[in-house]
Structure 1
């Protein structure tokens, strides 16, 4: 109870009181100081007077300054830097350093304890996302992480103090690390204050001593970063012997989207690069993911249009579907695209391609077990792990007995069938499960889609889920949401079955085939990562530069997260390749600010940035503008009016925070908003761009127009109306 009262009291009065104190101090100082006498002479006289008082009452002066500094640090007041400079000017270097270093650490510890015991909920609510960053850093590097922040703070010192209070770090360790970590910067600031305090004239600012002090302050962060990098490298590579020379500049493990782009960039910059792939070139996207699924969806879409040709003024026709031919088309399309990702193409670009299994022996050595039975070891300056992901098979009792398929295995398993499975269960209500459920329903299967969650496409807004559910249901897909599968098996007569729900609500469903689409997990095993000390959790753990604990070993694509999209893998690959090849000169942080994605159902679902649900959960105020495709001329002409464009903007401004598009060609339409968000263009710029008529892309312009109409200045309109009335006479 008392903690809650203190938190609320602090919340209610801290800002007003701080503002009043600062404002009052400024006013009193302005009134007290004779402004007509301001100048270096006056300032030097004031410093001399304070020094005389310190000389006369040293212990009292030290005590007052010490207590004042502790209070400033504990309350996180923004004057600590000036007090530090003042300590050097008034007390000299050694006394100033002694006072400030201990006072700053003690004050920081008070703030740390207040955050832990008094203000925990308040700090958590205000700085929650940053708190997780701190926790992750402590889990990764322990107290060294705090030491690194103290040397060159990623966050301001007061935020570090408060956020550390939310962790399990012992208070004594926090104090000791802070005392040591803040000492170098404190010494530089105290020394600068000492030099400034000795100025006799303004020309003294150009003295060698002052310039050196100010220069040290400027270069200190860069020097410390280099030292930190060196320390991290020494810790990471302890126990390993670095080769004196290398066979390659870069070895890339995995020839999916991330691996291919990484190898391409390396070859384009004339690096000696080897690409290792155990499976098919092109990875999952080409062979079992994006390409085959979209080919299947297009065939299913045409079959659906034939059944509903009356929507276009034609006689409807029940298509004769030979599923084997549909699957042959899928494989023909894979074969047509495969040369883009082939061994021959990449070798022509200057990439050495080795077919086999790669295993890291040490941070610079990769052993390749080739398909021909030979083994080759290569040393390399850098390594990029781009091993992709694979479908997850949940631990459902009996699932292995029923021959469950996944989006990885179904293409070969169903390839030679004349008909699509008569009774098909799709386990999973995400993008892959929804795409496959609709496609197979259109190709003749009776589909039952099972999702343990409350709705399909759980990452999208509820209205999106509802619209897609209605579309799938209208095409015959039976959707069971909020019902987890509990068991599967094969009856004595060979019938396959799966049970959903429990107790009286349990339901047994018989099927011919089941496709499991409950998610994908990175391929992490068999590459020597964990044995060598590369941190692996759900994905390969990397920093913002995509580096692992070994800076020369990087990861990109599904294996690195946080997104599992082919276009994100290619995006990451640029950062991974450039950092791997040129990181000693300059590194680039991977940029995830604007990441679009799409689900290729009908209607399509595409999004970039925040959803309305996410904005509400994160407490981000937004303004929502919608435009229905029912009003769009081209959508009407194409009989594809189901859907909408929804844009989230800052209240009162046209800055785009997120866009959701549901409807035909949504995946194409989203690109304009991706560009706008990437380069900071608001809805006003979209509205002012000419769009071809009649196109679906006009929906982007019209939703921008809706926003503009909602922000018309009523007063100005009234003035203009009177102006027009005056001109009419």
Structure 2
């Protein structure tokens, strides 16, 4: 820190010390200024101004009281001028102090506000600051300090603050004026019309300011577009995956006019290329694996060969059986106008489908996502699949290279391996399922190795080569290049949002750094009547979260003028359907450590569970993270047979605020796998037994035996 900064810091510390040393708070009252004002009004105004600047500049408590005092002593107009300029000057000083001296302290103290405010400043700049000043969702002193850490210029901060705080300051000063007119502090004395009106205005001002700012924001964002006089629809939904189906279903259920546009197949990825086909494949692979394990169950001379073509055709049959649930016929019968074609948003109220325009009050973009394929050298010379196209296979491909160690890659690698495909799985990380805890990854990797999957971890894919029919991957391992031969490649390297060719760039609808559509807590884009949900919006790319978001989109779009709902991500579960399954809700250990959240761990091994032993599935564990010393659940990970079903009890518990004691006190059927949840709660209880009380209870029982 240079000499100037040390001097400024010294001045700041001395000023705060002097304020509290001289008991500065004793001057923040009406009586002190009332007596002084009668003798010398000009001096009083100067002292008041200086004191107000000091209080706001040093971020000390008392600004609200001083504002009321200013109205009571100086009257409406003089008080408003004094308070307005003093508060702006003080706020700007706090802004400068923060930027110059207090960066580390402010970042640590107000980190929860910092990210949100930074995003707001980057997006809307001065308008965002004006909104914060008019609608004080964040305390003003926090705004002063946190804004100092942004890129906003001090002059911009000052004039926007001056104008933004002026309406609220006027309301507070007026309240002070009315309080100054009260002659006696009695019930009759304070029930004057002016004072009552003033306090009513204080109460409703935030709502008035919010409505005004929302109106200004709407005019600003819609200014370049002509709104239609009439509309064809209440709601138009783009994309008939999980999010689109649910939102259009809700709209039709409440008798809204809704169109659902899909350019490919109804049901989206989940039905056609994702959840449904992958789980059908996994089930066949599970049966094939059980045949190999027949002797464990006392069955001899059990034979069974995998007919790869029949397995893949069964997958298609399963899709066909589920298709009617998501079909055009079903949704048309529910009252949804199903439109087949390519949609493009051409204005905030117009969607074009293959040349036909639909005028609509609201739009929900639910266009989903697609597999991400890294553009590696030589990719154009090899034959590769993704999780969208792998279902075209009808013959065993021989040697399959699976690139990616996340949930999709793990599910498909294990399934194809168990169906007789020679699988090599490559990932740049040191373990599979890197978002899960290490003990989770270890259990899954041990099973993969036992199944015969050739795991190549710590391998960074560099290039593909096709040398006279020999196809191989060049990968970097600790600085060395290795070659991995294959017949086909399956990319499972993540997914990206479908945002292109929708017309978003023409409307200025922003994308996040992850390539998803930027939405607020109500799932609105920059246009309040255009929403986004599902994989195209994130942050979670699961079918069940897409459906969850769809409810908020539909309700907010159709009834938002009365009440809007913020999307709730507090309890988001998911499951990776490997064998063993990996299910999780809430925090795991590595996330808790990254976020600095204190926790206790309770772990119960499923190898001790009677039903798991009887089913020859005695492996895995239930791991629960709780608040230290309390039974509040922070997160649960279950690894094992049917983990995706077992986790439901903990999902409900977290959703409804139930702790480990409630789970322990619930009767679980014997013998079932669900007892694992109760036994985990029992382990927690045992670790938190009241030892001192039990010691006295033991003494009581010994006494009773004599």
Note whether the superposition's TM-score is higher than 0.5: yes
Residues 404 and 514, structure 1, Cα contact 8 Å, conserved in 2: yes
Show structure 1 runs of 5+ residues with no match: 33-42, 370-374
Q: Corresponding residue for 2:126? A: 143
User: Shift of residue 631 of structure 1?
Assistant: 1.8
2:605 paired with 1:625: no
8 Å Cα contact 2:425-2:453 kept in structure 1:
yes
Question: Post-superposition shift, 1:335?
Answer: 0.4
Q: What is the deviation of 1:637?
A: 1.6
Match of 1:543 among 520, 531, 538: 520
Distance 1:75 1:480, change over 3 A: farther
* Number of equivalences: 697
Distance change >3 Å, CA 239–CA 647, structure 1 → 2: same
Aligned equivalents of 2:154, 2:587: Cα separation in 1: 38
- Contact 2:474–2:481 (CA under 8 A) maintained in structure 1: yes
Q: Which moved more, 1:152-161 or 1:262-271?
A: 152-161
1:532 aligns with 2:515: no
1:385-417 Cα offsets, whole Å, 9 max, x none, are: 0000000111111123212100001112x0x21
Alignment of 1:604-615 (within 5 A): 604-615=581-592
What does residue 513 of structure 1 align with? 488
| Inter-partner Cα distance in structure 2 for 1:581 and 1:503 | 56
Once the two structures are TM-superposed, the CA of residue 2 in structure 1 deviates from its matched residue by 6.6
**TM-score calculated relative to the size of structure 2:** 0.95
Aligned to 2:625: 648
Whether 1:104 aligns to 2:87 is yes
Unaligned runs of at least 5 residues, structure 2: none
Which shows bigger deviation, 567-576 or 132-141? 132-141
User: For residue 484 of structure 1, what is the aligned residue in structure 2?
Assistant: 460
Q: CA deviation at 1:25?
A: 6.2
Partner of residue 40, structure 1? none
> Which runs of structure 2 are paired with 1:21-420 in the superposition (5 Å)?
47=30, 50-201=33-184, 202=186, 203-315=188-300, 317=302, 319-369=304-354, 375-412=355-392, 414=393, 416-417=394-395, 419=396
Cα pair 1:396 1:488 within 8 Å, conserved: yes
Cα deviation for residue 562 of structure 1 reads 0.7
Quick one: distance in 2 between partners of 1:634 and 1:454?
A: 34
How many Å apart are 1:109 and its aligned residue?
2.1
Measure how far apart 1:155 and its partner are.
Answer: 1.8
More off after superposition, 160-169 vs 592-601: 160-169
Q: What secondary structure is seen at the aligned counterpart in 2 of 1:506?
A: strand
Contact kept in structure 1, 2:609 and 2:673, CA below 8 Å: yes
Please tell me whether the aligned partners of residues 51 and 91 of structure 1 are also in contact (alpha carbons under 8 angstroms). no
TM-score by length of 1: 0.92
CA apart distance, 1:525: 0.9
1:556 to 526, 533, 537: 533
With 304-313 and 503-512 compared, the bigger mean Cα shift is at 503-512
Query: Which residue is equivalent to 1:38?
Result: none
What SS does the aligned partner of 2:485 have? strand
Aligned to 1:438: 414
* 2:693 aligned with 1:713: no
Deviation at 1:708, TM superposition (A): 1.5
Distance in 2 (CA, whole Å) between partners of 1:658 and 1:177 is: 43
Moved more, 125-134 or 691-700: 125-134
Q: Distance in 2 between matches of 1:382 and 1:231?
A: 19
CA distance in 1, matches of 2:109, 2:351: 46
Pairwise CA RMSD:
2.4
Whether the 8 Å contact between 1:306 and 1:316 is mirrored in structure 2 is no
Cα distance in 1, alignment partners of residues 525 and 66 from structure 2:
40
- Separation (CA, whole Å) in 2 of partners of 1:344 and 1:438: 36
Distance in 1, Cα, partners of 2:68 & 2:298: 83
Q: Residues of 1 paired with 2:6 and 2:309: CA distance?
A: 71
- SS state of the match for residue 596, structure 2? coil
Helix, strand or coil: the match of 1:182?
A: helix
Contact 2:464–2:472 (Cα < 8 Å) also in 1: yes
Query: What do the CA deviations read for 1:203-232 (whole angstroms, capped 9, x no partner)?
Result: 132211011100111111111111111111
